[in-house]
């Protein structure tokens, strides 16, 4: 049967909900719980099976200033660390809400049944992590993400059990549509009215009518060849938002996690948790040198130890020693590793050595890092209690995402929300480890509550789904099946990944980004002619063909924003502009689609001023620190300038940056 014939005969499955959550990782599940608790009929749509989302890969923990291990910790310290980690490009309000609300959101998980590791007095234990001043990450060994997603999944089940007792139907108020992919958002005028999707199992289509849609689709890492991200991470939410008229910010900031596996080749990119370093692991080059001491940038030099003695003393006596430089924010460590390998001091397989074996007794390593032990043993024949691991940077997280209102997570489009990795602003130019799981919880809940408020405010005047839009979405989803003799989607995907990896990767320069943009233009032509063998029943070739359109447009956002930002900051390093420039700190680059998306999607990027931090938050930092980030004009506005302070003679350039 021809696809056109199938389409004409096909009835599209219809559903009506108050709130539609796209994505079933931590952010989506927390949002759905909040929406359902607000009395909304809620649907969750996920590309994989329920409980398999990328959140399960999170290892280290959820950052929350509970002060269980070091009572000096509080939200102000967490806020400060987050802003420093993001090189002051964060949306201050999001960073503030996150730091204030994270403890409550973590404690709440215990009431859902989560079992975190404990302190001696029975509280939730907290571990050290890069960029966090005090031990702050609530964790369960090195499988915290699994605990988080399972806990939220089980909370959803518990809500369904409540509904079952009341109505006899588990799915009366909250239903999970698993292995279901959204390809388009639907609108009524300016407002969201629903979404169009297909079942992966049989390729049949669904149209959802819903006045509020919460995007919780995660990131874009699958656009890079070496990545810790799974097949799902194709930037769907980013692309859906753009096509619906929303904007993205900070797309040039892509986090390369410093420690991914490098060998054997088939496991390249798989994550090695930062907890290895948090628990004492150190980085060494081929000359057996603990090289991170050479890479402490100027902005952090007061907070990090300059020799091994002080660094090692910190684990037991953090009040009188500074932190080991292995625990610098991720962008710094990733650049340092990259520089060591480039300088010819890498390990045999092109990484560096991460050594925990000489730092902790074998049984302690197995207790604290069981899944790392297992992963290296099974996949690389390496016993991490006996020998060092080989590690190198891997694409891990995108700081950029949908531009949202910090309090409600609503995008520029009424009824459209974004939360977690698909939202932008919270992490600035670089996310601290542990701040993702807490971000999911804090803003997941906020978006669910805000979406419920919005739906109630409509007072029954629901935006309508237009049948012409449903038909158009259907036609576009079927296009790759209809085309004969076009190109193989796997080949296009692989070329896209190689392009982004080579030309818009961890270290960038103008001519390479320009090359990438030309290559992406060429890929756009190829994607338009992609064709798929086989039918609509669980056909991964077809699914990839549909994902390619999203991967392409988000890659273009990354490249275009990266070309414009002529400085180096956090997850954006320009070889040709190695310094961090205070003028650029005041700017967000905003991506949107121009032109008719049906004809030709064109990404436009325009600068926009970053919201200015109010004085009460600024006063949490000392003047000297702010002077490293801010322009002279900004500094003049600050009331707290000490009498003897002088402006630095020249703009601060981190010696590690661009190395």
Partner 1 sequence: MGYDHHFRVWRGDETGGGLEDYVVEVNDGEVVLDIIHRLQATQASDLAVRWNCKAGKCGSCSAEVNGKPRLMCMTRMSTFGRDETVTVTPMRTFPVIRDLVTNVGYNYQKAREVQAFAPPADLAPGEYRMQQVDVERSQEFRKCIECFLCQNVCHVVRDHEANKQAYAGPRFLMRVAELDMHPLDQADRKDVAQEEHGLGFCNITKCCTEVCPENIKITDNALIPMKERVVDRKYDPLVWLGNKIRRR
Q: Taking the complex as a whole, how short is the minimal distance between the CB of residue 270 and partner 1, in angstroms?
A: 5
Among residues 4, 104, 308, 602, which is the contact residue for partner 1, using CB under 8 A?
104
Site for partner 1 in 316-345 (CB under 8 A): none
Residues numbered 254 to 273 that lie near partner 1 (CB under 8 A) are 263-267, 270-271
Q: Is 13 in the site for partner 1 (CB under 8 A)?
A: no
Nearer to partner 1, 308 or 491 (CB): 491
Binding to partner 1 in span 276-315, by CB under 8 A: none
Long-range pairs of 648-655 with CB within 8 A, sequence gap ≥ 24: 651/579, 651/580, 651/581, 651/582, 652/298, 652/299, 652/579, 652/580, 652/628, 653/298, 653/578, 653/579, 653/580, 654/297, 654/298, 654/299, 654/568, 654/578, 654/579, 654/580, 655/295, 655/297, 655/298
Least distance between partner 1 and beta carbon 170 (Å): 6
Cα distance between residue 440 and residue 28, in whole Å: 8
> Per rule CB under 8 A, is residue 541 in the interface with partner 1?
yes
Name the catalytic one among 54, 98, 277, 574: 277
Q: Which of 14, 110, 306, 529 binds partner 1 (CB under 8 A)?
A: 110
DSSP state for residue 397 in the 8-state scheme: E
Q: Rank residues 477 and 626 by Cβ distance to partner 1 and give the closer one.
A: 477
CB of 428 to partner 1, least distance (A): 27
Q: 367 to 406, contacts with partner 1 by CB under 8 A?
A: 371, 374-375, 378-380
Question: Which of the residues 521 through 540 are near partner 1 (CB under 8 A)?
Answer: 532-535, 537-540
Around 382, how many Cα atoms within 13 Å sit in the side-chain half-sphere? Answer: 20
Residue 114 in tokens: 């989560």
Asked if 637 is part of the footprint of partner 1 (rule: CB under 8 A), the reply reads: no
By the rule CB under 8 A, 191 interacts with partner 1: no
Q: How many residues bind partner 1 (CB under 8 A)?
A: 72
List 283's β-bridge partners, or say none: 354
Q: Residue 230, interface with partner 1 (CB under 8 A)?
A: yes
Q: How many CA atoms lie within 13 A of 558 on its CB side?
A: 36
Q: Residue 524: which region, alpha, beta or left (left: phi > 0; alpha: psi -120 to 50)?
A: alpha
If one asks whether residue 204 binds partner 1 (CB under 8 A), the answer comes out as no
Q: How far is the CB of 1 from partner 1 (least distance, A)?
A: 16
CB of 56 to partner 1, least distance (A): 5
Are the C-beta atoms of 414 and 192 separated by less than 8 Å? yes
* Minimum distance of partner 1 from residue 352's CB (angstroms): 19
257 tagged catalytic:
yes
Query: Which residue is listed with tokens 């600068």?
Result: 607
As measured in angstroms, the least distance from the Cβ of 533 to partner 1 is: 5
- Selected range binding partner 1 among 15-23, 116-124, 275-283, 339-347, rule: CB under 8 A: 116-124
Closest CB to partner 1 among residues 150, 462: 150
Backbone φ and ψ for 590, nearest 5 degrees, come out as -110, 120
Told to check if 602 binds partner 1 by CB under 8 A, we report no
Taking CB under 8 A as the rule, does residue 502 contact partner 1? no
Taking CB under 8 A as the criterion, the residue among 253, 542, 584, 621 binding partner 1 is 542
At closest approach, how far in Å is the CB of 238 from partner 1?
A: 19
Q: Give the DSSP H or E segment for 604.
A: strand 602-609
* Residue 277 falls in the annotated catalytic set: yes
Pair 621, 80: CB distance under 8 Å: yes
- Under the binding rule (CB under 8 A), the answer on residue 23 touching partner 1 is no
| Residue 62, beta-bridge partner list | 138
Residues 461-490 that bind partner 1 (CB under 8 A): 488-490
Parallel, antiparallel, or unpaired: how do β-strands 174-178 and 42-46 relate? parallel
- DSSP-derived secondary structure letter, 186: E
Kindly identify the residues of this chain, within the stretch 143-182, that bind partner 1 according to CB under 8 A: 143, 146-147, 150, 154-155, 157-158, 160-161, 170, 178
Q: Which stretch binds partner 1 (CB under 8 A): 229-237, 397-405, 553-561, 634-642?
A: 229-237
Whether cis (ω within 30° of 0) applies to the bond prior to 518 is no
The Cα–Cα gap between 551 and 111 comes to 38
- 137-166 b/e with 16+ CB inside 10 Å = b? bbbbbbbbbbbbbbbbbebbeebbeebeee
- Rounded to the nearest whole angstrom, what is the least distance from the CB of residue 615 to partner 1 in the complex? 31
Q: Smaller CB distance to partner 1: residue 485 or 639?
A: 485
* 3-state SS string for 352-395: EEEECCCCCCHHHHHHHCHHHHHHHHHHHCCCCCCCCEEEEEEE
**Binds partner 1 by CB under 8 A, chosen from 6, 13, 50, 638:** 50
Annotated catalytic residue within 15, 30, 257, 322: 257
Under the criterion CB under 8 A, does residue 140 sit at the interface with partner 1?
yes
Q: What is the DSSP string of 254-266?
A: EEEEEEEE-SSGG
What CA–CA distance (Å, rounded) separates 655 from 628? 14
The yes or no reply on residue 123 touching partner 1 (CB under 8 A) is yes
Binder among 39, 167, 190, 201 for partner 1 (CB under 8 A): 201
Place of tokens 């099974």: 378
Q: Which residues are catalytic?
A: 257, 277
């Amino acid at each position: 049967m021809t696809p056109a014939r199938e389409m004409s005969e096909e009835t599209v499955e219809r559903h009506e909900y108050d709130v539609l959550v796209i994505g079933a990782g931590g952010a989506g599940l927390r949002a759905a719980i909040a929406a359902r608790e607000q009395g909304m009929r809620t649907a969750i749509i996920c590309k994989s099976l329920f409980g398999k989302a990328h959140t399960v890969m999170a290892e280290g923990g959820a950052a929350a200033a509970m002060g269980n291990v070091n009572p000096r910790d509080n939200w102000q310290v967490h806020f400060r660390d987050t802003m420093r980690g993001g090189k002051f490009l964060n949306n201050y309000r999001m960073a503030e809400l996150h730091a204030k609300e994270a403890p409550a959101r973590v404690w709440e998980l215990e009431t859902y049944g989560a079992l975190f590791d404990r302190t001696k007095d029975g509280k939730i234990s907290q571990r050290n992590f890069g960029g966090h001043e005090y031990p702050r990450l609530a964790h369960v060994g090195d499988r915290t993400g699994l605990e988080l997603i399972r806990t939220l999944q089980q909370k959803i089940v518990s809500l369904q059990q409540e509904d079952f007792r009341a109505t006899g139907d588990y799915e009366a108020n909250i239903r999970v549509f698993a292995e279901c992919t959204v390809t388009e958002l639907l609108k009524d005028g300016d407002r969201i009215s629903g979404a169009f999707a297909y079942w992966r199992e049989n390729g049949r289509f669904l149209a959802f009518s819903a006045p509020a849609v919460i995007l919780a689709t995660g990131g874009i890492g699958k656009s890079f060849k070496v990545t810790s991200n799974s097949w799902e991470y194709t930037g769907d939410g980013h692309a859906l938002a753009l096509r619906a008229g929303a904007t993205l910010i900070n797309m040039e900031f892509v986090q390369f996690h410093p420690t991914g596996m490098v060998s054997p080749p088939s496991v390249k990119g798989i994550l090695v948790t930062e907890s290895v370093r948090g628990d004492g692991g150190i980085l060494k080059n081929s000359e057996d040198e603990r090289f991170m001491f050479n890479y402490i940038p100027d902005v952090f030099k007061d907070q990090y130890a300059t020799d091994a003695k002080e660094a090692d003393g910190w684990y037991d006596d953090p009040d009188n020693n500074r932190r080991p430089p292995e625990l610098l924010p991720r962008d710094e460590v990733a650049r340092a590793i990259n520089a060591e390998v480039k300088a010819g001091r890498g390990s045999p397989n092109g990484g560096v050595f991460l050594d925990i074996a000489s730092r902790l007794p074998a049984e302690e390593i197995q207790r604290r890092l069981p899944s790392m032990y297992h992963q290296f043993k099974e996949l690389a024949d390496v016993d991490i209690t006996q020998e060092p691991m080989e590690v190198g940077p891997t694409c891990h997280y995108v700081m950029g995402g949908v531009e949202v209102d910090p309090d409600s997570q609503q995008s520029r489009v009424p009824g459209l929300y974004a939360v977690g990795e698909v939202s932008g602003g919270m992490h600035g130019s670089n996310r601290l480890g542990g701040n993702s799981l807490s971000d999911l919880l804090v803003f997941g809940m906020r978006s669910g509550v805000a979406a419920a408020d919005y739906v109630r405010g409509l007072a029954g005047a629901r935006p309508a789904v237009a049948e012409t839009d449903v038909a158009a979405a259907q036609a576009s989803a079927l296009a790759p099946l209809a085309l004969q003799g076009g190109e193989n989607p796997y080949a296009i995907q692989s070329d896209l990944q190689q392009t982004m990896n080579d030309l818009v990767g961890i270290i960038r320069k103008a001519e390479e980004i320009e090359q990438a943009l030309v290559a992406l233009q060429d890929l756009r032509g190829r994607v338009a002619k992609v064709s798929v063998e086989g039918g609509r029943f669980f056909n991964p070739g077809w699914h990839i063909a549909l994902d390619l359109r999203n991967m392409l447009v988000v890659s273009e956002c990354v490249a275009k924003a990266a070309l414009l930002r002529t400085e180096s900051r956090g997850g954006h390093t320009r070889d040709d502009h190695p310094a961090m420039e205070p003028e650029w700190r005041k700017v967000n680059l905003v991506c949107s689609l121009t032109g008719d998306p049906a004809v030709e999607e064109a990404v436009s990027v325009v600068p926009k001023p970053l919201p200015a931090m109010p004085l009460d938050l600024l006063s949490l930092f000392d003047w000297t620190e702010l002077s490293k980030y801010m322009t002279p004009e900004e500094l003049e506005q600050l009331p707290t300038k000490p009498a003897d302070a002088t402006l630095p003679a020249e703009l601060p350039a981190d010696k590690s940056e661009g190395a």
